Structure 1
Amino acid sequence: MKNHFFSRPLIAIASLMLLTVSCNNDDDFTAPPAIKGEQQLKDTLTIGKTLQLSSKIADRNNVVFEWAVDGNVVGSDSTYTFKPETRGDFKITMTAKNNGGKVSLTYDIHTFGAYENGFYMINEGWFGHGTGTVGFYRYDTKAIEDSVFVKVNPDKNLKPESSTLEFGTIFNKKLFLVSKVGGPVVVADAYSLKEEKRIPAQGGNDWRAVVGIDENQALLTSSKGIFKLNLNTMTLNGQIEGVTGQVGDIVKANGYIFALSSSKGVIVINASTLVVEKTIPSMVLGFAVTDDKKVWAAGGKKLISIDSNTLEVKEIAIGFQAYGSWGAWHPGSIVAAKNNVFIAKNGSFSGGKEIYKYNGDEASLATPFITLTQSNILYGAGIGYDRKKNSLVVNTVNEGFGTNFAINNLYLFNADSGVKKETISFSGYYFPAVSVFH
């Protein structure tokens, strides 16, 4: 995707006027510059782009300009071009001086990292034809940038081609990418996407998902249980005792870790001792964590909430069969938005067309919140929640096989009303897995 040059005049300085008046005693004096309009301005831009600030005055004779960034003088022209090299908050101050005095205006600018002002799209890739990819949907351009991981890291890859990139999450300002079938686990800076560490690809690896416990350790699920991961060295340090077989989605809430097992349902692990404290059988779909710290899963024809303080379980009838994805694992089609829960009505193999919203009232599950039209079906997790924009993010392909998988749509719905806000259509065998949000 193209990066567009970002230029915007500082309009509020447009009326700096030099006023010359005469006193009663005929002694001339010069009035200091005066600013009309706002005295405090704000804006944002992304690293790699520039912001052009300019002062337009009627008469520039005998006027001296000074530009400072965070107190450091950076220019003396009537214009200044700001091109940040780091993300963060900056104060740019323009001071105009003449013989009568001076006046200043401060401009507050937040600089986004190269991959901050939007969300990641993790794609599993076309099995056997190429690796998974990382895309990025950018808020300001409303466009998807393709294969950004390998563009930022040209000396890195996500091979082998027989692996599938299936999971991503952001923890402690790091983006974790997890591959199945012999692929790597990669840790990159969440804002720049520069790779920092990895578990190398290796035959026998078959990872699923990862959750951070603290800044030093995480748990990594796999087809063979749950592994303890040292985040400093990216080495494995044993497994969770008593957990075998395929384990997929995993989340942390309060003092517990909740993992989804193909054989045992929900496994509740004490985050301090890493000992299994409880299992909740027959659950096949997880997890969503609402703002009240309840953890949500589904199985059979019921949705359950788990109080992450007491581990109390409550059941809600959903009226349809909940399906997992153990045959060809992908992250679960369930997500929280504040204290609401969205759950997809998927088929036993292929994606579904209906998304339900539970708002605490069982009546809210009587009809779908969103029903996909035409040939669209969900793929991968299919749904995600973008808190910054209060959007339900939906990924679809076309129903059927073959070339239908190359017909993709990204839909953004208002999470409160269900009104569709944006549609981005694109082509290619991406096979979307999950969206990842800052």
Structure 2
Amino acid sequence: MKKRRLHLYTAAMLFACAYSLYGQTTYTDGVFMLNEDWYGHNNSTLNFIRPDHPTDPFEYYIIQNNESNAGQSLGATAQFGAVYGDYLFIISKQDQDAGDGLSPGESAETRQGGRIVVADAQTMEIKSRIPIIRANEKGVSIADGRSFVGVDETKGYVGTSNGIYILSFSPFEITGRIEGTENPLITGDEDNADGVGPLYQNQIGMMLRTADYVFAIQQDKGVLVIDPQTDKIIHTVEGCFSTMAQSKDGNIWVGRNTNMDYQHYPYGNMGSSGECWEGKELLRINPETFETEAVPMTEGGINQTWYAWTAGSLCASTQENALYFTYNENRWSWFTTSKLYRFDIDTRTFTQIYDSATDKRYFYGASIRIHPLDDQIYGALYLDNVVQSYWIYQMDNQGNVLKELEPIDRYWFPALFIFPDNHAPEVEELPDVTLEDGAVEIDLSSKATDKDNLDAAIVKTVKSNSNEDVVEARIRNHRLTLQPKTVGEADLVIRFNSNGKYVDRTLHVKSLTTGIRHTEESPVRVWGKDGRIHIKGLQRPTRVLVYDTDGRQIRDTVLSPGDCIEGLPGGKCYILKFNRKQYKLIY
């Protein structure tokens, strides 16, 4: 077997050299295929697929084969990667596979991996490697890699077996952990050999960035809602969940365990192969109000993803309001599936669109993703764990196979398809605004679009305000609220960030008023119910400050008439300040 593996690597090296004759130096015209690769034998790998290439669509080992990355590779058992801005972020469970030594003249000691590897998104030149995300006092790693999400131009979040960590981009370094996401069971001395140890509980799974928040699944808690400005958890949707995706309409969808005996803490205690998992329901979460809707799955289901964690197959189209996923009813073979399903969100219709079992081939692991530009589905299929035959299927969004691409024989164990991000957001110019009588609200949702990302996920922020004494500006749920403070003029710079690529637009504001109304206003009433604070009597968008009994400010928001404040736990006392008045509330 050793000779066979060396032969394959040498062939791939020769292919890479030959391919350079085409002058291809950037990776923008195809699809990345991230592979777990063969645990115990070598580090994970990254291939690039150009389906329309005239001779061979595969370019292999594009991290290890890059001359700029001499002696460097990915870590062991990579399961997640994402392009954000100018970089490709790849997260591996461990930093190094003890059996790695594929390159001629190399050994496991000379090959350097990393739990976090950051590469130039176009050239694959490694810019940073972080072998240990967090260590105990003995220097032993206590946080295995899981997932990643870009937050803004300065930072991202890294999901692990022991919490969510903040990754600074300049320089690339871990700067902290989000409080409340830690795994109290992990010390570095525990034994996980039975498959139900601490590594398989309290894990962080998939994470998503919406216009205002970051959503993250924690195995034994639920879906965490994080304020990216403060790096604090502001709300938790409790329950036993698996993977997650954001649809074109902006809503969040998570696979939910419908085994009600396990809808209580600890949710993740599901046995080594998830035998207590029954994923027959999708939960829709409104990304702004956090309201939920349970949608029974009339066909298919969502497999659990926690044991030997994977990203899961659930993915969303950017062209249509639809989700796609694979499913296997056999709980003991949760990582191997044959049936592909489509969920039409608008009609709430589930449809099986393909079954690979007719060819005796099976989707592996996360298995599918859908291309943001052409809505074509990419599927990774194989025969069996002990056979080195794999296929990449290119399919339309109705499940029709367009192409079957076959890589060289090897134990690839595909983890995830990753698509290049070639387009920056396209943003309209913003017209001048004159404030004559109170606050003005501007809907920014239609001002920007992105060809290869969700428009609903474009983050809008006020980057600068040339005269804060004239106008107060805030953005929430794609709406810009301008509150005049005095007479004068100001220039606001509004940033539109789509997956790390951003465009700035300047908005000129002229205020002809102080914004203070002298008419008699309706009486104001403040009350709390069902986890929400309601304010009746607001006449216009109003800035509301919320404090706890120690005087700490815990919320600063602008509420329009009819809005409410969510995510504050009940049973506590709060002080609300707005319109130059103070209100005390206990609920």
Task: State the TM-score, normalizing by the size of structure 1.
Answer: 0.70
Q: Counterpart of 1:241 in 2: which secondary structure?
A: coil
Equivalent residue for 1:180, pick from 80, 93, 102: 93
Whichever structure has more strand as a proportion of its residues is: 1
Q: Counterpart of 1:260 in 2: which secondary structure?
A: strand
Cα distance, 1:314–1:425 mapped onto 2, change above 3 Å: same
Matched residue type, 1:123: N
How far is 1:278 from its partner? 2.1
Cα distance, 1:358–1:139 mapped onto 2, change above 3 Å: same
Cα distance, 1:187–1:285 mapped onto 2, change above 3 Å: same
Q: Does residue 270 of the first structure (1) align with residue 227 of the second (2)?
A: yes
How far is 1:389 from its partner? 2.8
Q: Encode CA deviations 1:283-342: one digit per residue, 9 max, x unaligned.
A: 432221122211111112111222212222122111355322211011121000122111
Alpha-carbon distance between aligned partners in 2 of 1:214 and 1:350, rounded to the nearest angstrom? 33
Alpha-carbon distance between aligned partners in 2 of 1:268 and 1:195, rounded to the nearest angstrom? 31
Q: Counterpart of 1:3 in 2: which secondary structure?
A: helix
Equivalent residue for 2:62, pick from 143, 148, 153: 148
Tell me what 2:286 maps to: 307
Tell me what 1:329 maps to: 309
On the 8 A contact 1:317/1:362 being kept in 2, the answer is no
Q: Does residue 356 of the first structure (1) align with residue 341 of the second (2)?
A: yes
How far is 1:252 from its partner? 0.4
Matched residue type, 2:402: K
How far is 1:363 from its partner? 6.0
Cα distance, 1:139–1:353 mapped onto 2, change above 3 Å: closer
Q: Counterpart of 1:117 in 2: which secondary structure?
A: coil
Q: Does residue 430 of the first structure (1) align with residue 430 of the second (2)?
A: no
Alpha-carbon distance between aligned partners in 2 of 1:276 and 1:370, rounded to the nearest angstrom? 39
How many correspondences in the alignment? 327
Matched residue type, 1:284: F
Alpha-carbon distance between aligned partners in 1 of 2:292 and 2:405, rounded to the nearest angstrom? 39
Alpha-carbon distance between aligned partners in 2 of 1:115 and 1:361, rounded to the nearest angstrom? 35
How far is 1:280 from its partner? 2.2
How far is 1:361 from its partner? 5.0
Tell me what 1:170 maps to: 83
Q: Counterpart of 1:369 in 2: which secondary structure?
A: strand
Q: Counterpart of 2:124 in 1: which secondary structure?
A: coil
Tell me what 2:72 maps to: 157
Alpha-carbon distance between aligned partners in 1 of 2:324 and 2:283, rounded to the nearest angstrom? 13
Alpha-carbon distance between aligned partners in 1 of 2:402 and 2:131, rounded to the nearest angstrom? 40
Tell me what 2:393 maps to: 411
Q: Counterpart of 1:402 in 2: which secondary structure?
A: coil
Tell me what 1:389 maps to: 374
Q: Share of identical aligned residues, percent?
A: 27
Alpha-carbon distance between aligned partners in 2 of 1:192 and 1:368, rounded to the nearest angstrom? 38
Structure of greater Rg: 1
Task: State the TM-score, normalizing by the size of structure 2.
Answer: 0.53
Cα distance, 1:114–1:139 mapped onto 2, change above 3 Å: farther
Q: Counterpart of 2:349 in 1: which secondary structure?
A: helix
Matched residue type, 1:135: N
Tell me what 2:173 maps to: 235
Q: Counterpart of 2:63 in 1: which secondary structure?
A: helix
In the alignment, structure 1 segments of 5+ residues that lack a partner are 7-47, 50-112
Tell me what 2:32 maps to: 120
Matched residue type, 1:168: G
Alpha-carbon distance between aligned partners in 2 of 1:159 and 1:420, rounded to the nearest angstrom? 31
Tell me what 1:95 maps to: none
Cα distance, 1:331–1:254 mapped onto 2, change above 3 Å: same
Alpha-carbon distance between aligned partners in 1 of 2:410 and 2:119, rounded to the nearest angstrom? 25
Alpha-carbon distance between aligned partners in 1 of 2:155 and 2:20, rounded to the nearest angstrom? 40
Tell me what 2:354 maps to: 370
On the 8 A contact 2:242/2:306 being kept in 1, the answer is no
How far is 1:364 from its partner? 2.7
